[in-house]
Amino acid sequence: MIILILALFAFLSASTGGWLYYFSYREAAFQKTESAAYTQLTLLTRQLSTHLSEHIKPVKTLAGMGELQAALETTNLETIFQANQILDHFTRSLDLDVCYLLDRTGTTLCSSNRNDQDSFVGKDFSFRPYYLDAITGMPSTYLALGTTSRKRGVYYSHPVYTRGDNTILGVIVIKSSVEFVEETLFSKTDDTLLFVDPNGLIFISNKPELQFKLLWKLDEEKLNFITDSRQFGNGPWDWAGFKKNNADQITDSLGAEYLFSSLDVPNYPDWQIISLRNHKEIEKQVTEPFIRVIGPAVVFISILAGLLVFILYQLAAQEITRRKRAEKKLRLSEERYRNIYHKTPIMLHSIDTEGRIIHVSDHWVEIMGFERKEVIGEQLTRFFTKESKKYALNVIFPRFFSTGFCKDVPYTYVKKNNEKMDIMLSCYGVRDEEGKIIRSLAVSVDVTEKNLAQKDLQIAKEKLSQYSLDLEGQVKKRTAQLENAQTNLKNLSKNIIASQEREKELVARELHDHLGQVLTALRIDAVWMEKFLKELDTSSCQRAERMRSLIDDTIQDVRDMAYRLRPRVLDDLGLTDALESLVSDFEKRSNVSCIFMHDDIPEIDKTLATALYRIGQEAVTNSLRHSNATAIQVELRTDQEGIVLTIEDNGCGFDPWITPDRNGFGLEGMKERANLAGGKLTIATCPSQGTRICCKVKVKGEA
């Protein structure tokens, strides 16, 4: 009974799905037809506007001919003859219906059809709007039916001026037939195409029987307005019988429905091109192939679904058992990953998009003195000082959730015993399949002792500044002592920076050697599990694959953090290769062209190499973050005095007297490193002119 019910349900589902698919297919076909019609209508509108406006420049050229001005100023047989020759030439050259010249009263003086039965010579066209506009100095384009020729056309008018004072002498008019436009543009489709005036009178159509009919039924007042304008003859203008059902559908007098689309024509206000597509014809084109192809397929699928139900039922029990075993193994693997995370001897934590702590390592809770249950779910900023909390909420959190990366952010933690701990935090954003940041992976390094040393150094500098006021009279006697003190301070700063580099190197080594090896072992297990589950359970295999991919991303993150804390290439290969690797890495992580050029550099000590590397790293980082540069060039050269490191970009630049040092370790930090290395740092920049940073360091043994 279960199998029978499932088979019937499968048959009904397939049948229902077939009908739903048909109606969806039908709706999509109508939408596709509507989109194609709109595209065709847009192209036709542009082409029609171009055709109707092609003689605007020729009529302006014709108005400037001296023969026409002479005929209007001095009307005699000779000037009339010369003007007619010009009009004949333009008519033949441009393949026009007629060209004619009106005087200030609107009477035709010259015309290219002067010898025809429907000659315009002597005719008064002062009532035409194109004349009324042109005689006031405004060139005009006018669509109308000829009062004499009874032919549809486009009239182009332009005032004719005297040569001296620009007085209007008369009006030159060009008439171009619209039949060529009708044949070339409106005859390329089976749909009904209409070109109607603002009142709905059909002026051009690929259906001759609709010409000069009214698209909509008009009241007596509008009909009288059309008659008085004499734009389309004397009528009558019968109603074509169309009625609007809604915005995109109309019905004719026989009850046939049409899909309705319209677009305004540029340069012709309120004139529209309208496309009418027969609803039944479209539906017929959609229905017949669908029923012929899809109908048998629906019956076949229904029968096949019934047969498959029985087979799937037998396989279900075995599948559920295999899936439970795979899920159990997957849970064990996840527990192993969590143990690695928690047992790592580094302060690790993760927060969600709302700033709540979701994971902390055992080392984190051990150092902070809290129980894990007191931490999970709490805001990370709860464990900050007031100043660090404000800095995190206003600056760091928005920057992190925008870029997915923060490095060396100074915070102050408050332990459970209210003891304060200064830390340097670096974090990366973990993203989902859509690229959105869902959580962070952060490393906190205790820098309390380093900060205390820096504070002591600052205090010593302040005391030295105060003492200098009292030592002005004893400068010569105490110069040696002062130089000695400065040397000590310089050595202290070097020791602080060296200590910081050692700390970064230690953390980098711990991340690379310990955590990297553990993650690699975990990845090997994940790959084995993925291969094991590939034949047993596709869903579990995919989950193992995602876990393996997550481990790969974590390994890469650990490698990137280790590299940024202390690049191994600096210790192994030296400054030149380290800078080349740095520039290459920045170019890969951005869309900025980074170029590195260098000379053969003599062997230098590790402290100087580290200082030059950090200066180059900070300068390139600032260019990428703040300058909006498209190209960065790094040069490492030697000259007679020593080594010269130059970083130049083509970015927005800045005013060094106004722009503040945003992070406290930017420009001033580079200058301090250069000074401690025995060199000098110069910055050349101004707004919109790029930035050039140059560090020159003397090297022992150089001239």
Per residue in 303-344, pLDDT tens?
Answer: 776 677 667 767 776 777 888 888 888 777 777 767 777 777
**For residue 236, cis peptide bond before it (omega within 30 degrees of 0):** yes
Name the fold adopted by 56-177.
Answer: Beta-Lactamase (3.30.450)
Across residues 350-356, what is the average pLDDT? 90
Across residues 63-77, what is the average pLDDT? 88
Coil vs helix vs strand at 541: helix
Instruction: Give the tokens for residue 30.
Output: 């109508």
Which segment, 486-495, 578-587, 687-696, is predicted with the most confidence on average?
687-696
Residue 271 has pLDDT above 70, yes or no: yes
Q: What are phi and psi of 652, to 5 degrees?
A: -80, -15
Q: What pLDDT does 646 receive? A: 93
Q: What pLDDT does 267 receive? A: 78
Across residues 562-582, what is the average pLDDT? 72
DSSP 136: T
Residues ≥6 apart with Cβ < 8 Å to 615: 645, 670, 673, 674, 681, 693, 695
Instruction: Give the tokens for residue 615.
Output: 């200066």
Residue 283 has pLDDT above 60, yes or no: yes
Contact 196, 211 (CB under 8 A): no
Q: Where does residue 253 fall: left (phi above 0), alpha (psi -120 to 50 degrees), or beta otherwise?
A: alpha
Q: Which CATH architecture does the domain made up of 343-556 adopt?
A: 2-Layer Sandwich (3.30)
Q: Do domains 343-556 and 568-698 have the same CATH topology?
A: no
Residues 440-468 have pLDDT tens digits of 888 988 888 888 888 888 888 888 888 77
Helix (H) or strand (E) holding 559: helix 538-565
Coil vs helix vs strand at 138: coil
Q: What are phi and psi of 622, to 5 degrees?
A: -60, -40
Q: What are phi and psi of 75, to 5 degrees?
A: -85, 110
Q: Across the chain, what does the average pLDDT equal?
A: 80
Which segment, 177-186, 199-208, 309-318, is predicted with the most confidence on average?
199-208
Q: What is the 3-state secondary structure (H, E, C) of 42-86?
A: HHHHHHHHHHHCCCHHHHHHHHCCHHHHHHHHCCCHHHHHHHHHH
Query: Sheet of 168-177: strands edge to edge?
Result: 108-111, 98-103, 168-177, 152-161, 140-145
Residue 488 has pLDDT above 70, yes or no: no
Of the ranges 27-41, 358-372, 424-438, which one carries the lowest mean pLDDT score? 27-41
Which residues is 695 bridged to in the sheet?
645, 681
Residues ≥6 apart with Cβ < 8 Å to 338: none
Q: What pLDDT does 694 receive? A: 92
Instruction: Give the tokens for residue 155.
Output: 């009239």
How far, in Å, are 25, 257, 289 from residue 283 at the CA level?
11, 11, 11
How far, in Å, are 85, 96, 97 from residue 67 at the CA level?
9, 20, 21
Q: How far apart are the C-alpha atoms of 246 and 216, rounded to whole Å?
A: 14
Position of tokens 């040092």? 661
Residue 115 has pLDDT above 80, yes or no: yes
Residue 118 has pLDDT above 50, yes or no: yes
Q: What pLDDT does 609 receive? A: 81
Percent of the chain with pLDDT over 70: 82
Q: What pLDDT does 32 receive? A: 74
Q: What pLDDT does 639 receive? A: 84
Residues 644-701 have pLDDT tens digits of 999 999 988 887 777 555 444 477 778 887 887 778 889 888 888 889 999 999 876 4
Q: What pLDDT does 239 receive? A: 84
Residues 618-639 have pLDDT tens digits of 888 888 888 888 899 999 998 8
- E-strand stretches of 235-307: 243-246, 249-251, 257-264, 272-278
- E-strand stretches of 88-210: 98-103, 108-111, 140-145, 152-161, 168-177, 192-196, 202-205
Across residues 415-426, what is the average pLDDT? 91
Sorting pLDDT into bands at 50, 70 and 90, what band is 100? very high
Q: What pLDDT does 662 receive? A: 47
Instruction: Give 422-457 as a DSSP string.
Output: EEEEEEEEEE-TTS-EEEEEEEEEE-HHHHHHHHHH
Instruction: Give the tokens for residue 566.
Output: 């202390």
Across residues 165-172, what is the average pLDDT? 87
Of the ranges 163-167, 313-317, 412-416, 598-602, which one carries the lowest mean pLDDT score? 313-317
Which segment, 90-99, 197-206, 320-329, is predicted with the most confidence on average?
90-99
Enumerate the domain spans of the chain: 1-53+180-319, 56-177, 343-556, 568-698
Residues 601-624 have pLDDT tens digits of 888 887 788 888 888 888 888 888
Contact 494, 676 (CB under 8 A): yes
Higher pLDDT among residues 669 and 100, named by residue: 100
Q: How far apart are the C-alpha atoms of 422 and 369, rounded to whole Å?
A: 15
The closest alpha carbon to 507, from 694, 345, 673, 331, belongs to 345
Instruction: Give the tokens for residue 409.
Output: 């952010």
Q: What pLDDT does 663 receive? A: 43
Contact 424, 445 (CB under 8 A): yes
End-to-end CA distance of the chain: 100
Which residues is 359 bridged to in the sheet?
350
What class, spelled out in words, does domain 568-698 have in CATH? alpha beta
CATH 3.30.2420.10 for domain 1-53+180-319, yes or no, is: no
